[in-house]
Amino acid sequence: MHITDILVTGEPIIYGAMVSMVLVGIALLFLLTYFKKWGWLWREWLTTVDHKKIGVMYILSALLMLFRGGVDAMMMRVQLAFPDLGFLNSQHYNEIFTTHGTIMIIFMAMPFLIGLMNIIVPLQIGARDFAFPYLNALSFWSFFFGMALFNISFVIGGAPDAGWTSYTPLSGAAMSPGPGQNFYLMGLQLSGIGTLATGINLMVTILKMRAPGMKLFHMPIFTWSTLVTSFIIVFAFPILTVALALLTLDRIFGSQFFTLTGEGMPMMWANLFWMWGHPEVYIVILPAFGIFSEVIATFAKKRLFGYNVMVWSMIVIALLSFLVWVHHFFTMGAGAFVNSIFSISTMLIAVPTGVKIFNWLATLYKSKIEFTVPMMWSLAFIPSFILGGVTGVMLGMAAADYQFHNSYFLIAHFHYVLIAGTVFACFAGLTFWYPKMFGHKMNERIGKWAFWLFFFGFHVCFFPQYFLGLDGMPRRLFITNVAEWLPLNVISTVGAFGMGLGFMVFVYNVYYSFRYSERETTGDSWNGNGRTLEWATTTPVPYYNFATVPYVDEIDPYLRMKEEGKTTYEESELKPIHMPSYTAQPILFMALLGLASFGLVFEWMYVAIFGLIGGVIMMIVRSFDYDDGYYVPVDEIKRTEKKARGL
């Protein structure tokens, strides 16, 4: 086989991407070698099982993917604003909207939120780490190698081009030969293993490792949202696992599930995909609701209004999320009766969601709001998200959906809920908990610039798309030289670049804050407004989290601790702390499974079998591994805490 058979050739943009990837790679290798950081990288990060470090790696990867997905988006916007420029050809355009969608949902939104959960949830419930730290590292590396596999597709072998929903029969072997769709299947399958494991891990952590006294209805609302999300993950992801496996069997081993021959049933894919896919959108929105609830309560300086109702509405949303999947394909022709049922269940979801909106407003009512950057993201979320929600109800009416279906109206709708919901929450959450992670805040002035650029860019980009949709512009269209669509498309593109600029300012702020921000001296970073246990730890958080775990019997435990002068360091109660050992097994294990997946993508069976055998060997190694971790002696805890607390 010749190298040019695998490398994607003939596209100047892709050549550019290849060159820049190679240059960045060389620069990284050089920097790591020059500053002698290889050992540090291996010992402190690649082999870590510390939930805080794993969370940071998740978030860094997610930011990288936000960049990649964002570049895809801008390229599409350039094409749509200047359709006659010949910037992209139709094949390249198909590939780009496919990778944009897949990356943003699977490799950006989910890992970003899971990263925040990783860092914050154990701190909020007073735990030393996850229930299964080894499994947590395994989850991260499965996501990482799945992401890497999916992302190299555009330089090696060719990117998938059947849309992020990958509908059959288009995505089957007959109509999409070659490795492109295989990258989609294997990349998602590999990272899906990790997501399922994280769901189980978080559930056990939350159910079994809470601080003494903390009942379920004392848990911080972000932890609650994580618990509900984990429930959805555990019951939705196996459906995706099966759907991907069946399509893989179809494509590589010639079975007939979704084919047009052998009495296969292509429409079954849409059902299986959305039976996972609809719960999936709640997987990325419920944690966002949790983040906004925390931020709003903190900066309104009030107890969250209607805490119990907030929890129950999340539970109701989670249950309903499994009962609405057909609304993604009303036009497929399931019949009026079926469509009506799913129409009603869809509109029902607006009820608990509306309840949440009113609870946030009631929390803000008559409060003394502090306009910090996380609070601004949260306040901007409420009206923006309502626009997305209301248009969602419009789409949910089956009869009307025959008009809206697959138009830019839909595109505008789901970007309004996913950006104003999930992406705003990622920025809010990252800014809010940034001092907990890195020991300094992000600069507020630059943060506000990023916020306003992104906020206006977002509305300028997506608001016109509602009207484009009503004017009949279909999604996934690569030439739009219909005269009346052009002005709104140009405006939309300007907005997209505004968002891009906002993101760049945000990233610059990471650098600026690293250089110039004041270092934290207390753990309670936001002017002493912290309400929950994560703010009770020192900053940066010691690797064992809590020297002593406080007794908790309310939803804002740290407020009371501050009144009573208590801390998470009661010298008389110190005991040795049991901690898990770092291990190289997770990264090796998942690298081998990544190799197997790579083999399957190109249908090189020897590579696939080699990788799979390697994976089995790693499982055997793990089974015989009786490493029970180690104990942190009391003296070391005393030394660490005294230094951090300036005692």
Partner 1 sequence: MAAEELKTGPLEYRTQEGQMGIMGFWIFLGAEVVLFATLFATYAVLYGRTADAPVPGELFEPGIVLIMTFLLLTSSFTCGLAIHEMRRGSVKGLTIWMSITLALGLGFLGFEIYEFVHYAHLGATMQSSAFWSAFFTLAGTHGLHVTLGIGWAILLLIQIRKRGLTNVTSRKFFIISLYWHFLDVIWIFIFTSVYLIGMVL
Q: Does 412 bind partner 1 (CB under 8 A)?
A: no
Choose the binding region for partner 1 from 94-102, 373-381, 382-390, 616-624 (rule: CB under 8 A). Answer: 616-624
Q: Does 319 bind partner 1 (CB under 8 A)?
A: no
Q: Which of 265, 386, 504, 574 binds partner 1 (CB under 8 A)?
A: 265
Q: Does 609 bind partner 1 (CB under 8 A)?
A: no
Q: Does 196 bind partner 1 (CB under 8 A)?
A: yes
Minimum distance, C-beta of residue 601 to partner 1, in the bound complex (Å): 20
Q: Which of 368, 483, 628, 647 binds partner 1 (CB under 8 A)?
A: 628
Q: Between the CA of residue 541 and those of 158, 555, 630, what are the distances in Å?
A: 44, 21, 19
Nearest alpha carbon to residue 163 among 110, 102, 105: 102
Q: Does 207 bind partner 1 (CB under 8 A)?
A: yes
Show Cβ contacts of residue 539 under 8 Å, excluding neighbours closer than 6 positions: 435, 436, 439, 520, 522, 523, 525, 644
Minimum distance, C-beta of residue 478 to partner 1, in the bound complex (Å): 33
Angle at 363 between CA 361 and CA 364, to 5 degrees: 65
Task: Measure the CA–CA gap between 574 and 571, rounded to whole angstroms.
Answer: 6
Minimum distance, C-beta of residue 628 to partner 1, in the bound complex (Å): 8
Q: Does 212 bind partner 1 (CB under 8 A)?
A: no
**Exposure on the CB side of residue 555, measured as CA atoms within 13 A:** 21
Nearest alpha carbon to residue 583 among 611, 610, 621: 621
Minimum distance, C-beta of residue 330 to partner 1, in the bound complex (Å): 19
Q: Does 393 bind partner 1 (CB under 8 A)?
A: no
Q: Which of 25, 177, 262, 472 binds partner 1 (CB under 8 A)?
A: 262
Instruction: Please give the DSSP secondary-structure letter assigned to residue 517.
Output: S
Judged by CB, which is closer to partner 1: 128, or 218? 128
Q: Does 246 bind partner 1 (CB under 8 A)?
A: yes
3-class SS shares of the chain: helix, strand, coil, % to 5? 70, 0, 25
Q: Does 367 bind partner 1 (CB under 8 A)?
A: no
Judged by CB, which is closer to partner 1: 125, or 425? 125
**Both tokens assigned to 299:** 């900066």
Q: Which of 200, 344, 393, 574 binds partner 1 (CB under 8 A)?
A: 200
Name which of residues 123 to 182 contact partner 1 (CB under 8 A): 128, 131-132
* Residue 592: how many other CB atoms lie within 10 Å: 20
Task: Measure the CA–CA gap between 140 and 360, rounded to whole angstroms.
Answer: 33
Residues in the chain: 647
Q: Does 564 bind partner 1 (CB under 8 A)?
A: no
CB 281 within 8 A of CB 419: no
CB 537 within 8 A of CB 546: yes
Name which of residues 459 to 498 contact partner 1 (CB under 8 A): none
Q: Does 242 bind partner 1 (CB under 8 A)?
A: yes
Q: Which of 2, 208, 366, 445 binds partner 1 (CB under 8 A)?
A: 208
Show Cβ contacts of residue 511 under 8 Å, excluding neighbours closer than 6 positions: none
Choose the binding region for partner 1 from 17-25, 159-167, 265-273, 389-397 (rule: CB under 8 A). Answer: 265-273
Q: Which of 1, 85, 624, 646 binds partner 1 (CB under 8 A)?
A: 624
Number of residues forming the site for partner 1 (CB under 8 A): 50
Q: Which of 16, 177, 254, 354 binds partner 1 (CB under 8 A)?
A: 254
Judged by CB, which is closer to partner 1: 248, or 522? 248
Instruction: Give CA 455 to chain center in angstroms.
Output: 20
Q: Which of 47, 165, 255, 367 binds partner 1 (CB under 8 A)?
A: 255
Nearest alpha carbon to residue 517 among 431, 579, 576, 586: 431
Q: Give helix 373-396 / helix 336-364 axis angle, nearest 10°.
A: 160
Task: Measure the CA–CA gap between 30 and 44, rounded to whole angstroms.
Answer: 19
Q: What is the dihedral of CA 179, 184, 190, 196, to 10 degrees?
A: -160
Choose the binding region for partner 1 from 34-42, 252-260, 285-293, 491-499 (rule: CB under 8 A). Answer: 252-260
Q: Does 238 bind partner 1 (CB under 8 A)?
A: yes
Task: Measure the CA–CA gap between 586 and 264, rounded to whole angstroms.
Answer: 38
Task: Measure the CA–CA gap between 214 and 125, rounded to whole angstroms.
Answer: 8
Judged by CB, which is closer to partner 1: 484, or 625? 625
Residues forming contacts to partner 1 in the complex (CB under 8 A) are: 128, 131-132, 196, 199-201, 203-204, 207-209, 234-239, 241-243, 245-246, 249-250, 253-257, 259, 261-265, 268, 272, 275, 575-576, 578, 616, 620, 623-624, 626, 628-629, 631
